[in-house]
Structure 1
Amino acid sequence: MIYMIITGLLCGALLGFVMQRGRFCLTGGFRDMYLAKDNRMFYALLIAIAVQSVGVFLLIDLGVFEYSAGALPILSVIVGSFIFGIGIILAGGCATGTWYRAGEGLIGSWIALAGYMLMSTMMRTGVFGPLNQQMQTSSVLPTNSIAETFGINHWFIIIPFVAVVLFIIYKQLTKPKVAIPKLKAKRTGLSHLLFEKRWHPFVTATLIGIIALIAWPLSAATGRVFGLGITTPSANILQYLTTGDQRFLNWGVFLVVGIFSGSLIAAKASKEFRFRMPDVKTGINSFIGGNLMGFGATLAGGCSIGNGLVMTAMMTWQGWIGLVFMILGTWTASYFVFVRPRQKAKAAKLKQEVTTA
């Protein structure tokens, strides 16, 4: 138990610290792909996937632990991932992003977390449990592993993927750089690097990939053979608090608590922590978004981390299909939340100008 608490908290704290300082936000990244045609955060995600994938499969081949991807509930993954994508736009952050933004003092993230944890619990042991089970058992394909589907060794998928990621990195880093005005440094040395200097998204992604890799053997040592995970542990926290049943306390629970703690430390040290109360509309959207996140992530078997980072690294259909529909969900929500209101406002302004002319 002590090992589980210490390693879970430390791994989570590292992840929360790195995400907060690197501003690693997949919600913003997916949204910017559509609104700003900016793919940098998506490329950063691919780096984290590649780092984790190489490391984890090396550990598996060395016999450190065994892992089976199981079957693929394809309908559940598609529907759940799309709903999750809509939810993270309304909530203003994905599952992990909401945890680390809560550590910065953002009250809207606390509201989103409440909805997220509540709905995740309801989907597991509450009134929506039967619906979740029915969806999970319908339209199930026997093989989730991409390598097993094609009858090839997993390295025949991982190596080409890593090569593509390296090519993307090369193309991005050799682009002509846009001059960005530098603020006068107030700190020096390590303090400046950790708490003041802007972190490059690719550096942040590499660190996240390493942390995601470390999570596997640490978690497996406690009997939980999986890497980073947010949705189930978040539900487990509420289940433990409402039942007192210690069976809900696992490595993942301490991981998410650590994410909050690490982000809080980083935000305090960088003087970015402050309580920020949302307006009524934002608060309502955050709660609705949190509920959609909990519903979608549970149905899909993972969130932007569980499916988008971990199951993609394991080269599963669930991970990559989930990631695609997650992104489609964010684009759909971004259209209705950001694009359409702007179009209506622009049309109304044009109509007013014509009327007054």
Structure 2
Amino acid sequence: MLQMLFTGLICGALLGFVMQRGRFCLTGGFRDMYIAKDNRMFYALLIAIAVQSVGVYTLIQLGVIEFSAGTFPWIAVIVGSFIFGIGIVFAGGCATGTWYRAGEGLLGSWIALIGYMLMSAIMKSGPLLPVNNSIQSVQFSNNSIAETTGLPVWIFIAIFVTIVIVILINERRKPKVIIPTMKPKRTGLAHLLFEKRWHPFFTALLVGMIAILAWPLSEATGRMAGLGITTPSANILQFLVSGDQSILNWGVYLVIGIFLGSFIAAKASREFRFRMPDAKTGITSFIGGITMGFGASLAGGCSIGNGLVMTAMMTWQGWIALLFMILGTWTASYFVFVRPNMKKKLVTTNQTILNA
């Protein structure tokens, strides 16, 4: 119990700290690909996937950890991931992003978390469990891309790592945009940790390394998985309702650690403050959390469980989930951001013509 508590909290705190300081937000990253044509955060995700993939499969080959890709519930993954992508736009952050932003004092994220945990618990052990199980029962027997194709997994890892390296080389060749910064108020390590702007690619490298660390730490407690957010979030609510301590596994302490790590980073960098949303934003955040919990539970993972971990494990579930998460995010972004702006521009244009 003490080992599970200590290692889960430490791993989660590291992840929360790094994500808060590096502003590692996949919701914004997916959205910016469509609206701002800015792919940097998506490229950062690819870096984290590549680092984790190499590290975890090295551990598997050394016999340190075990992994089974299992089956591929394709309908649940496609539908759930698309719905999850819609939900994260309304919630203002993905599952992990919502946890770390809650640690910054953003009360809208707390509201989204309540909805997320509530619906995840309902889907995984409540009234909607039969629906969840029924949709997930439609499966392909093989989830591993390597086993499906009959090729060694290291071929796919090598190809993917090469693609990521090419992307990094091309990004490095682009002209740098100089962003004016204020004169540093701190020096040395304090400046680097709590004041200097972290590059998304450096942040991704650290996220990937933490994701590798999560596997042996989690498996040492009997939980045969890496980073995961949805089920542990549901477990927290289940524990609060039932008091059943058997629910408290390594993943639960991981997500609590994310909150604590983000809080420490936000306080130390003077970015922590309670921010109360208006009524409309609060309602939207709760609806987003509910939608996010439904989608992630159905898909068997969120942007971390599927988008970061299962992609690194070279599974169909991971990569197809990532694709439909992005499509869901783009769909919601069109109706939330793009279309309203188009209407405003049209109204302004018509007024200009009438006044001419």
- Within 5 Å, which residues of 2 pair with 1:135-146? 135-138=135-138, 140-146=139-145
Q: Could you tell me how far apart the structure 2 residues matched to 1:346 and 1:250 are?
A: 52
Q: Does 1:104 align with 2:104?
A: yes
Which residue matches 1:247?
Answer: 246
- Using the TM superposition, name which of 121-130 and 24-33 deviates more: 121-130
* Counterpart in the other structure of 1:27: 27
Shift of 1:178: 1.6
Q: Secondary structure at the match of 2:222?
A: coil
Aligned counterpart, 2:117: 117
Equivalent positions of 1:191-340 (< 5 A) are 191-340=190-339
Q: What whole-Å deviation, never above 9, does each CA across 1:156-208 have from its counterpart, x for those lacking one?
A: 11011111111111111221112221210000000000000000100000000
Return 48-57 or 171-180, whichever deviates more. 171-180
| Residue of structure 2 in register with 1:158 after alignment | 157
Q: Secondary structure at the match of 2:83?
A: helix
Match of 2:79 in 1: 79
Per the alignment, in what secondary structure is the counterpart of residue 72 of structure 1? Answer: coil
Q: Counterpart of 2:10?
A: 10
Partner Cα distance (1:118, 1:198) in 2:
35
Matched length: 356
Q: Provide the rounded CA distance (Å) in 2 between the counterparts of 1:97 and 1:285.
A: 16
Q: Which amino acid aligns with 2:98?
A: T
Following the alignment from structure 1 to structure 2, what is the Cα–Cα distance between the partners of residues 313 and 346? 42
Q: CA RMSD in A?
A: 0.7
Partner of 2:167: 168
**Which SS does the other structure have where 1:282 is aligned?**
helix
Residues 205-258 of structure 1, C-alpha deviations (whole Å, 9 max, x = no match): 000000000000000000111100000000000001100111210000000000
Which blocks of at least 5 consecutive residues in structure 1 are unaligned? none
Give the equivalent residue in structure 2 for 1:348: 347
Shifted more, 61-70 versus 83-92: the winner is 61-70
Aligned partners of 2:178 and 2:98: how far apart in 1? 31
CA distance in 2, matches of 1:203, 1:174: 17
In structure 1, distance between residues paired with 2:158 and 2:38 = 26
TM-superposed deviation, 1:119: 0.2
Residue of structure 1 in register with 2:69 after alignment:
69
Shift of 1:335: 0.2
Q: Post-superposition shift, 1:279?
A: 1.0
Instruction: Find the residue that maps to 1:210 and give its secondary structure.
Output: helix
CA shift, 1:129, in A, is 0.8
User: Which residue identity does 2:262 align to in structure 1?
Assistant: S
Matched residue type, 2:130: P
Q: Which residue in 2 is equivalent to 1:94? A: 94
How far apart, in 2, do the equivalents of 1:176 and 1:86 lie?
Answer: 34
Q: Distance in 2 between matches of 1:96 and 1:271?
A: 21
TM-score, normalization by structure 2: 0.99
Equivalent-residue separation in structure 2 for 1:47 and 1:179 (angstroms): 23
> 1:336: Cα distance to partner?
0.1
Hey, what does 2:186 align to over in structure 1?
Answer: 187
The alignment-based identity, stated in percent, is: 72
Q: Which amino acid aligns with 2:14?
A: L
Q: Distance in 2 between matches of 1:354 and 1:278?
A: 37
**1:321-353 CA-partner distances (Å, limit 9, x unpaired):** 000000000000000000000011111122222
Kindly state the Cα deviation for residue 57 of structure 1 after the two structures are TM-superposed: 0.3
Over 4 Å off, 4+ runs: none
Amino acid at match of 2:69: A
Spell out, residue by residue over 1:45-95, the C-alpha distance to the aligned partner (whole angstroms, 9 max, x if none): 000000000010011111112111011000000000000000000000000
Structure 2 residue runs of 5 or longer lacking an equivalent are none
Give the TM-score, by structure 1 length. Answer: 0.99
Q: Please report how far the alpha carbon of residue 305 of structure 1 lies from its aligned counterpart in structure 2 after TM superposition.
A: 0.2
**Aligned amino acid, residue 190 of structure 2:** S
